[in-house]
Amino acid sequence: MFTGSMKGRLFRGRRRGGEAVIRPVATLAERWDDAFLRVESYLHAHGIRSPMIVNRIATQTVDEARQAAVADPAAEPVALAMAKLQQAMAHWYRTVLGEQDLPEEVLRAKGRLALVMNRSEPGWTQQFLAPDSVHPELAMALREARLQPGPEVQLTNMPPAPLEFMINPDERSTAPGLRGHGLVQAAALWVFILGALGAAWAASH
Amino acid sequence: MKVAHFDPAQLDPQIRRDRRVRVATLLLALTAPAVMVMADLHWRTGYDLWKVLHLAIFTLLFTLVALGSVQAIIGLVIRRRGEPFAITHSVDFATDLERLDAPTAVVMPICNEEVRRVIEGLRAAYESVAASGQLAACDFYLLSDSNNPNRWIEEEAAWVALTQELAAHGRIFYRKRRVGINKKAGNIADFCRRWGSRYKYMVVLDADSIMSGGAISKLVRLMERNPGVGLIQGVPMLVNGETILARLQQFASRLYGPCASAGLNYWTLSEANYWGHNAIIRLDPFIRHCSLPELPGDGPFGGRILSHDYVEAALMRRAGWQVWLATDLDGNYEECPGNLIDLAKRDRRWLQGNLQHTRLIVARGLNPVNRVHFILGILSYLASPLWLVLLVLSGIIAWHVDRMDPARYANVGFAQHLHWSLQGQSITLFAYTMALLFLPKVLALFDLKRRPADAQAFGGWSAIIQGMLLETGIFTLLAPVLMLFHSKFIALTLCRQNVSWGSQRRGREGAAAAWEEAIGEHWGHTLAGVVSAVIAYRIDPRLAAWMSPVLLGMIASIPLSFITGSLDAGLALKRHGIFLTPDETQPTPELISVTQHMEGVEPARPVPDELEGDYGLLQAVLDPYVNAVHGALLRSKDELPSASELRFETLRSKLVQYGPQSLTPKEKVALLQDGESVRLLHDQVWSAPTEELAPWWRVAISHYSRVAPLPQTPFSRQVAA
């Protein structure tokens, strides 16, 4: 099932035997539309809701990708546009996080993690990929963001408790048994109950 | 009620002994007359093998019924007089207000549970502990064994969101085991091995537990005050039920539970049991003495121990540590299955675990009371097939007796003096059995009579009586269905059919027990009921009348299962004030918190049907934040062998080109456990031209689209065509 937006924008519908057959579009203009939409969707997936910000970044990204396409006309617009967007993001994360040595893909993952840990920071979307410098408080918060799934591990040995499955007749129980006075009292009472019932039985049968 | 200060270390063994003798004596006094009357009944018509077997089973089952009554009688008396030997009386909570500094871990093992509910239970506990001012000493752990990628990914994101909302970084932790060895016990043991030495105590919660900060603090204070105590088990109240079955269970447990648990504590004292959650454990002895060994052999009775809790309590006691039941600990809750089928599923897991304890009864060095706990646990399930056999034997015996000359048994045995007809004697015995069965309910009413405020919290006496009658009626009809379920499960277990440990559905999910599921699970019960009714009627119409509650429950099992699992019917009863409990009429802040957060969640954008099955995978790959969190939580590993790298590369390529349907569940989990694959897939899918993506991914990406679909008009349809 495809949504209306995909039918209208990404695919061209044709009919074969009464059923809609949907296949990807082919023209270059539509491929660039596709690239623009992909960039928009990716920004949207980041939680950037402002149409103006999304539009600004998407337009800028696709423009840069189009320029790059001049040198590499065989390249796919979506791949080019997303590569430009990811480069921009890596650059922004590198500046904000101050991480110079990390590979680009690791840096982007780390940057996204820092963002998710600071999504409540006000106005971060306005500063995201912004050309001017990021607010120091946001930068500090992003730099300090850490995911801590657990404290430092302190390994302890936990050996299985041994179990043996025969009761040792010589074993002294750890529980108090029925010994001494208590046993006599209990036994007397039980004998009385059973004796009374036994007598009733004997008298009747 | 003034209660003397109590020091468990000074508990005189003679007290334990005397109490157990009293319980045994009362049990004998209630059981022996019934057994004798039954023996006489058989004697009148002449003994044969059937009757000997019938009498033996009757004796065993009647003892169990009588034990319930004995505990209720003693519980009522104890609640009136006050229990001088309650663990909770070893600390004066009103004056002991010192800040706790004993490091305590609150752990919640989970496995494919409903994530929202898990998180809200944890949130309630965390906020409540914070409000009680004891947060500094407490850490919280979600220990996941979820193997369903959807649940796993949702858990990770929900954990991060919760720690952010509560500003609880470094306070609430999440651990996901790659391989869920030894189920829940293995999960807890894994925690103990990794972090156990950091803490003095561990409070174990279940996925549906709710525990207040007050309850947690009290448990820690009790442990601090009593260094010889290794484990304290709280008695959780059932809450948040919405279906008839869930509300009925919580009403019954809330009404009858206090007397029963007071009676249980009377004879167990420092040798109580562990129920697996809502308990506090002293970690050092637990780590040293309570790691579960494997049982020799395999199959249903060997291998890894399935029901760990009873065994851990026994091992703790074997090592010399006391185990107590805290019967009056407020702020301690759990939920229950919402429909009969889920209840049976849960029972099947517990049943196999309990049957496995048969071997442990004779394990060397265990305390005799722990052996009794094992036996009672086994009998709680074995009773079902025994009741079934008893019913069948009763039918056979009735058939025999029906063909006898009445003059032969007219005036023999007790009948000589009591002028009992055979039927009169049977009715007397039946009435006595029923009296003992219903005695705990009546005693609970007596107990409540002394607490008018509590009675009001149940909705008043009228609501209580209505609820009690309805609960009794429904349980009477459901009992034979559960009897058949348990009998079948025991047969399967004995045939070495292992149990798969799926998660149960509760509350709203549980209410959705569809007709189809009810028919599929209960058609056999209905058939058995119809056949039994015909046979009983052919033997003697009076026998069929006697057995009618049992037969009716079996015959009507399909509609019964559906109706008792119905959310609408449950809520309708709630509106009419039936099955109300004090936890509903006077909910604690923790219960309110869970309810409000569960109800207050914004409705999510609906997930297209075709994406739903692999939504966890979708989010882990596509969502920039879920992907980052998931990748960060995966253990970094050394360089992979080239064969593994090649395998992952192939899997990634297949996933992108052909979608998740092209991979097996194992392959999907393997990819999700590989950090590099997770990171690469994110870039790969987002950067791939549309025509290189599987249709599934195209729909998935459109799920993130900012542009809403066009409304359908004749023009848009024309364009699409």
Q: How far is A109 from chain B (nearest CA, A)?
A: 5
Q: How far is A8 from chain B (nearest CA, A)?
A: 7
Q: Which of A98-107, A193-202, B71-80, B391-400 has the highest mean pLDDT?
A: B71-80
Looking at chain A, the number of H-run helices and the number of E-run strands are 8, 2
Write out pLDDT tens, residues B600-659: 766 666 788 888 899 999 999 999 999 999 999 997 665 667 778 889 999 999 999 999
Model-level pTM?
A: 0.89
- Is A52 in CB contact (< 8 Å) with chain B? no
Per-position DSSP letters for A4-46, written without gaps between them = HHHHHHTEEEEEETTEEEEEE--SHHHHHHHHHHHHHHHHHHT
Top pLDDT among B706 and B522 is at: B522
Whether the pLDDT of residue B75 is over 60: the answer is yes
Report d(CA B381, CA B341) in Å as an integer: 16
Per-position DSSP letters for B120-161, written without gaps between them = HHHHHHHHHHHHTT-GGGEEEEEEE----HHHHHHHHHHHHH
**Stretch A163-185: mean pLDDT:** 60
Per-position DSSP letters for B477-538, written without gaps between them = HHHHHHHHHHHHHHHHHHTT-PPP-PPPPBHHHHHT--HHHHHHHHHHHHHHHHHHHHHHHH
Residue A25: closest CA among B690, B708, B715, B656: B690
pLDDT grade, residue A10 (50/70/90)? very low
Q: Between chains, do A150 and B719 touch, taking CB under 8 Å as contact?
A: no
Opening angle at CA B502, ends B500 and B503, nearest 5: 155
B231 Cβ partners below 8 Å, 6+ apart?
B274, B279, B280, B281, B282, B286, B312, B313, B316, B321, B323, B324
* Residue numbers of A between 102 and 131 with CB closer than 8 Å to B: 105-106, 109-110, 112-113, 115-117, 119-120
B43: which chain A residues are within 8 Å (Cβ-Cβ)? 205
Cα B9 to chain centroid distance, Å, stands at: 32
* Residue numbers of A between 20 and 49 with CB closer than 8 Å to B: 20, 23-25, 31, 34, 37-38, 40-47
Q: Between chains, do A147 and B632 touch, taking CB under 8 Å as contact?
A: yes
Q: What average pLDDT does chain B have?
A: 90
- Is B164 in CB contact (< 8 Å) with chain A? yes
Report d(CA B656, CA B692) in Å as an integer: 8
Per-position DSSP letters for B334-370, written without gaps between them = E--BSSHHHHHHHHHHHHHHHHHGGGGGG-TT--HHH
Write out pLDDT tens, residues B40-49: 999 888 888 9
Residue in A3, A89, A166 to test binding to B, most B beta-carbons within 10 Å: A3
**Which residue do the tokens 């026994």 mark?**
B314
Q: How far is B21 from chain A (nearest CA, A)?
A: 6
Which amino acid is located at A196 in the chain? Answer: A
The partner residues of B210 in beta bridges, in order of sequence, read B333
A201 Cβ partners below 8 Å, 6+ apart?
B36, B39, B40
B292: which chain A residues are within 8 Å (Cβ-Cβ)? 160-161
- Is A162 in CB contact (< 8 Å) with chain B? yes
Task: Give the chain B residue whose CA is nearest to the CA of A110.
Answer: B628
The partner residues of B110 in beta bridges, in order of sequence, read B144
- Is A5 in CB contact (< 8 Å) with chain B? yes
Whether the pLDDT of residue B403 is over 90: the answer is no
Write out pLDDT tens, residues B226-278: 999 999 999 999 999 999 999 999 999 999 999 999 999 999 999 999 999 99
Show me where the domains of chain A are located: 26-144
**CB nearest A6 (choices: B362, B632, B702):** B702
Residue B357: closest CA among B381, B389, B325, B336: B381
B687: which chain A residues are within 8 Å (Cβ-Cβ)? 78-79, 82-83, 86
Q: Between chains, do A204 and B192 touch, taking CB under 8 Å as contact?
A: no
Task: Give the chain B residue whose CA is nearest to the CA of A106.
Answer: B679
Alpha carbon dihedral B244, B250, B252, B256, in 10-degree steps, equals: 180
- Is B178 in CB contact (< 8 Å) with chain A? no
Residue B88: closest CA among B332, B326, B270: B326
User: Given this model, what pLDDT does residue B296 score?
Assistant: 84
Write out pLDDT tens, residues B328-383: 999 999 999 999 999 998 998 889 889 999 989 989 899 999 999 999 999 999 99
Report strand pairing: B279-282 vs B229-234. antiparallel
**CB nearest A156 (choices: B193, B290, B679):** B193
B169: which chain A residues are within 8 Å (Cβ-Cβ)? 117, 146, 148
Q: Which two tokens stand for residue B549?
A: 């509650």
pLDDT grade, residue B126 (50/70/90)? very high
Write out pLDDT tens, residues B487-512: 999 998 888 775 553 444 444 444 45
Residue B16, helix vs strand vs coil: helix
**Stretch B94-110: mean pLDDT:** 92
Q: How far is A133 from chain B (nearest CA, A)?
A: 23
The kind and range of the H/E element at B230 are strand B229-234
Q: Between chains, do A182 and B17 touch, taking CB under 8 Å as contact?
A: yes
Contact B45, B396 (CB under 8 A): no
Lowest mean pLDDT segment, chosen from A177-186, B35-44, B90-99, B522-531: A177-186
Report d(CA A137, CA B6) in Å as an integer: 56
Write out pLDDT tens, residues A126-154: 888 876 767 888 888 888 888 899 999 99
B113 Cβ partners below 8 Å, 6+ apart?
B146, B151, B207, B208, B503
Q: Between chains, do B194 and A190 touch, taking CB under 8 Å as contact?
A: no
pLDDT grade, residue B53 (50/70/90)? very high
H runs (alpha helix) in B600-658:
609-612, 615-622, 624-633, 642-658
Write out pLDDT tens, residues B166-182: 999 999 999 999 888 88
Alpha carbon dihedral B555, B559, B561, B562, in 10-degree steps, equals: 170
Residue A173: closest CA among B44, B548, B318: B318
Q: What average pLDDT does chain A have?
A: 79
Phi-psi region of B365 (alpha: psi -120 to 50; beta: other; left: phi over 0): left
Q: How far is A161 from chain B (nearest CA, A)?
A: 5
Report d(CA B276, CA B309) in Å as an integer: 5
pLDDT grade, residue A4 (50/70/90)? very low
Q: Which two tokens stand for residue B225?
A: 């005050």
What is the sign of the dihedral through the CA atoms of B167, B168, B169 and B175? negative
Q: Which domains does chain B have, with CATH numbers?
A: 102-346 (3.90.550.10), 609-705 (no CATH)
Write out pLDDT tens, residues B564-602: 998 899 999 999 999 999 999 999 999 999 999 988 766
- Is A164 in CB contact (< 8 Å) with chain B? yes
Q: Between chains, do A45 and B704 touch, taking CB under 8 Å as contact?
A: yes
Q: How far is B705 from chain A (nearest CA, A)?
A: 5
Contact B222, B6 (CB under 8 A): no
- Is B230 in CB contact (< 8 Å) with chain A? no
Lowest mean pLDDT segment, chosen from B78-87, B388-397, B449-458, B629-638: B629-638
**Which residue do the tokens 């494919």 mark?**
B112
Whether the pLDDT of residue A8 is over 70: the answer is no
